[in-house]
Each structure stands twice: as C-alpha cells, then as structure tokens.
C-alpha cells in the first residue's frame, strides 16, 4: 500500500467546482491502495453537498483505512465535512 496521494481538484476538474457525486467518483477513481488522500481545494470557491457526501461519508465509510485530509478548504467547506462526519485535522 502506497503512502500518500495528493489530489489537486483544479487539475482533475479544471472547468467546474466539485459539486456532484460524479465529480467525486472521478476524483477518487484511483484512490484505493493509499494510506492517505490529501485533497487540495486551492482555487475552489464552492463544494457541493453531493460531492462532499460522496467523498467524506460514502467513500470514507467504504475505506476506513484511508485517511482523507482536506487542504486549503474554506471554513464553510470544513464545516460541511464535519457535519457529514468526515475526519479532518
């Protein structure tokens, strides 16, 4: 199992903010097999509830062995992650 994978959202979703569950599945496509995912929100203005739920609740419940760390997320994004039960530092 590899250690850390950093996912820069602007690289994966260059023309849209992450709002939909389909965006989350695209972002997490190759995420299995890592101990930690660092999701970099730099340059992202808005995160939709469907995206957040798919990443920080559904994926996390399916892969409890993978730590998900949001980076450069706004206060409102972090609040949404906490509300969904997502672990964050």
Whether 89 is in a domain gets the answer: no
36 Cβ contact list (under 8 Å, min separation 6): 3, 4, 5, 66, 67, 68, 69
CA 69 to chain CA mean position, Å: 8
This prediction's pTM: 0.90
Tens of each residue's pLDDT in the chain, 89 residues: 689 999 999 999 999 999 999 999 999 999 989 999 999 999 999 999 999 999 999 999 999 999 999 999 999 999 999 998 755 44
For residues 76 and 48, the answer to whether their CB atoms sit within 8 Å is no
The answer to whether residue 54 sits within a structural domain is yes
* Structural domain boundaries, residue 9: 2-83
Q: Is residue 88 part of a domain?
A: no
In a domain, 71, yes or no: yes
Tokens 């997502």 belong to 86
- Number of folded domains that form the chain: 1
């Amino acid at each position: 199992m590899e250690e850390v994978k950093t996912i820069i959202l602007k690289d994966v979703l260059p023309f849209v903010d992450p709002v939909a569950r389909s965006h989350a599945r695209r972002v997490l496509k190759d995420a299995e097999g890592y101990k930690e995912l660092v999701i970099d929100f730099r340059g992202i203005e808005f995160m939709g509830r469907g995206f957040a739920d798919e990443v920080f609740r559904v994926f996390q419940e399916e892969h409890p062995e993978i730590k998900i760390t949001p980076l450069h997320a706004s206060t409102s994004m972090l609040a949404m992650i906490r509300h969904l039960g997502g672990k964050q530092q």
